[in-house]
Amino acid sequence: MNNQQLEKIRHSTSHIMAYAVREIFGNDVKFAIGPVIDEGFYYDFDLGEITISTDDFKKIENKMTELIKQKLPFIRTEVSIEEALKKTNDQPYKQELINDLSTKGETTVSFYKVGEFEDLCRGPHIESTKELGNFKLLKLAGAYWRGDEKNKMLQRIYGTAFATKDELQKYLIALKEAEQRDHRKIGKEQELFFIDDTIGKGLVMWQPNGTIIRNEIEKLAIEMEDKGDYKRVVTPHLAKEELYLTSGHLPYYKDGMYPAMVMDDGTYYLRAMNCPHHHMIYKHQMRSYRDLPLRIAEYGTVYRNELSGTLAGLLRVRGLAMNDAHIYCRKDQIKDEFKAVLDLTLKYFEIFGLENYYFRLSKWSKDHTDKYINEPANWEYSQNVIKEILDEAKVDYVEADDEAAFYGPKIDIQFKSIIGREETMATIQLDFLAKERFKLHYTDTDGKDNNEVFVIHRAPLSTHERFTAFLIEYYGGIWPTWLSPVQVRVIPISEKFIDYAKAVKSKIKDSKIRVDIDDSNESLGKRVRNAEKSKIPYILVVGEKEQTDQTVAVRKRTDGDQGSKKIEDFILDIKTEIENRK
């Protein structure tokens, strides 16, 4: 079945769900919108004082099944704006949509009727409900009308539908797996992070275990960037209004920034992007052609004024630390620098064992030049160069015409996560505009001032927040040894061997390996099971034999019992594994 037909099934099921809600909760229900989304559909309702709960799902599903079995046709009609307003005189949300269409020049709108339920809808739909039946209601959420927190909070019901029962069952099994891998669930179980309303929505508190993972990822980035001759910097978390006027963030991105702070020496904003600060570092001193390319890197923290209703664990937050860097180069260096960033990104993915991704090259359009900076020669040159890089790398990619940023072409790296969600993991963006806005220059080989400074924005490891969420779900909370908050747990057989266990721990810790001891009063079997449940990579059991021989009994998470090893041999083996980031 093609995607278009599946969308029809899901859209039609959304209408049947709305029909069922009206039948159960009465004619006073106010209907908002009910679109198809990637994994199914939803519908937003205003039920006044009535609150729907998941306990109502069975009742709604039963009513949907009853309606579907009647093999009702979907009948489309087209009416004038005036007639549409009359038909929806008790539906304020529909009337608002109709009036919007009218202001855009529409003179007619379409409705779809199924049974006794008629809804404003562009369509298309299936012919009859006989094609439906394989559906499931999934969850509830609150949603502001039109995503605006100034508007009323509506009740949203999410569901999904498929053409066959088998497809539905496979999806529900995958969904259950996704729930088990949810980064919020695992993050709580493993004490990685939390978000507290007392501090603020979308502001992440990293606990010790989560901070270890975050630090290890940043350590990797620092090592790799050092090899790539990046220069690390640290810049302020805020700046004056003038900086963001120069960059263009004000006024165009003002809604995404935190409100202004008026001080005695000017107006300040929390930064939403690192690039303006890095541009100022570039222009702080004269640059020669010999200085280029200049690669400036920073795990810079930025702040986004996201609506509270859109926040989602680590995936969408208000404070985020970005694996950011900006490369300042000449036109003839674009290919080498873009290629180096792509190679670095692929190396990261190899280290983390990430698969199932593709690249999307977003280009300009000659037919819509009003949308883009007026540098056609640079557009053509850079897009051809980037395409050559992707071809030479032999990676899977698609081209997206007329989807570039205003200021240059870009590559997005799209991942299909382990739980089936597609998301953009990293972006490599070429920028023609910064040189104009910030008056970036260098002295060329003839000693002349040259303003053709091209900027490459890149963040291959995304943000700490988003990337950690992705890794939690990808690994299912089973961290590779080099990332694991606790790499080794020492378990003495009885209290008689606690001193030896402490001596083993001390030797391991001296080798910069993260280790702890479980000397609780639980049975040996219970303590081993607890360590396994906590996904500890290595468990070392010590008793009389190990103390006498100065060894440890090794149990590896992935391979079970490994027998006895000298402490020094075990340390050498695990250090090699950690250093190689296997």
CB 503 within 8 A of CB 517: no
For 303, list phi and psi in degrees, rounded to 5. Answer: -130, 130
For 537, list phi and psi in degrees, rounded to 5. Answer: -60, -40
Q: At what angle do helices 165-181 and 464-475 cross, to 10 degrees?
A: 120
Give the separation between CA 425 and CA 349, rounded to whole angstroms. 11
Structure tokens belonging to residue 328: 């300042």
Give the separation between CA 302 and CA 318, rounded to whole angstroms. 8
Structure tokens belonging to residue 273: 């992007």
Beta bridge partners of residue 206, listed in sequence order: 193
Alpha helices (runs of H) in 459-497, residue ranges in sequence order = 464-475
CB 134 within 8 A of CB 150: no
**In this structure, is the dihedral angle defined by the CA atoms of residues 167, 173, 174 and 178, taken in order, positive or negative?**
positive
326 among annotated binding-site residues: yes
Q: At what angle do helices 464-475 and 208-227 cross, to 10 degrees?
A: 110
Give the separation between CA 328 and CA 325, rounded to whole angstroms. 10
457 among annotated binding-site residues: yes
Burial of 50 from C-beta contacts in 10 A (0-12 / 13-18 / 19+): middle
Helix, coil or strand: residue 93: helix
H or E segment to which residue 416 belongs: strand 410-416
What is the bridge-based pairing of β-strands 294-303 and 231-232? parallel
The single-letter DSSP state of residue 445 is T
**Could you tell me how many helices (H) and strands (E) the chain has, helices first?**
18, 28
Give the separation between CA 269 and CA 262, rounded to whole angstroms. 9
How far from chain centre, in Å, is Cα 270? 22
368 among annotated binding-site residues: no
Structure tokens belonging to residue 218: 């940043």
CB 247 within 8 A of CB 275: yes
> Three-state SS string across 247-300, please?
HCHHHHCHHHCCCCEEECCEEEEECCCCHHHHHHHHHCCCCEHHHCCEEEEEEE
How is the chain split among helix, strand and coil, in percent rounded to 5? 40, 25, 30
Give the separation between CA 418 and CA 356, rounded to whole angstroms. 9
Burial call 442-475: b when 16+ CB within 10 Å, e when fewer: beeeeeeebeebbbbbbbbbbbbbbbbbbbbbbb
Beta bridge partners of residue 412, listed in sequence order: 360, 427
How far from chain centre, in Å, is Cα 531? 30
Binding-site entries for Zn(2+) = 275, 326, 457
Known binding-site residue numbers: 275, 326, 457
